[in-house]
């Protein structure tokens, strides 16, 4: 359920960011997240199943965090960001071709 996924994701990352206890990071994340929500809505219209891929990647990251394996969580997060960037590039190319 994509809608439930997005709500849960927002709660998860908001909680993790809040745990940092840094008001600047919390505020910055809030601003960025708002921009990303709008952008992500467009991306998922073009690639509707990409959220399932994100879910699998994020689950592995969370598992590493829960195991206390910070280095692995960082490595997996870097890969996740790279994959997300690739999905964004592909979606933007699809959008350009559709014009």
Question: What pLDDT, in 10s, does the model give residues 75-94?
Answer: 999 999 898 888 878 877 87
Give the per-residue pLDDT at 43: 74
Question: What pLDDT, in 10s, does the model give residues 27-70?
Answer: 998 888 887 777 777 777 777 777 788 889 989 999 999 999 99
Tell me the two tokens of residue 14: 């908001």
Kindly list the distances between the CA atom of residue 7 and the CA atoms of 1, 2, 95, in Å, as whole numbers in the listed order.
Answer: 10, 9, 26
For 12-21, letters b (16+ CB in 10 Å) and e give eeeeebeeee
Kindly list the distances between the CA atom of residue 23 and the CA atoms of 16, 17, 33, 37, 46, in Å, as whole numbers in the listed order.
Answer: 13, 10, 15, 21, 35
Dist CA 58 CA 73 (whole Å): 10
């Amino acid at each position: 359920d994509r809608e439930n996924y997005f709500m849960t994701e927002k709660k998860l990352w908001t909680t993790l960011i809040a745990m940092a206890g840094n008001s600047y990071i919390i505020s910055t994340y809030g601003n960025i997240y708002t921009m990303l929500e709008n952008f992500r809505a467009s991306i998922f219209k073009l690639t509707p199943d990409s959220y399932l891929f994100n879910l699998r990647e994020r689950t592995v990251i969370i598992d590493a965090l829960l195991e206390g394996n910070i280095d692995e969580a960082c490595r997996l997060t870097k890969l996740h960001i790279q994959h997300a960037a690739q999905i964004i590039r592909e979606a933007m190319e699809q959008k350009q071709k559709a014009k």
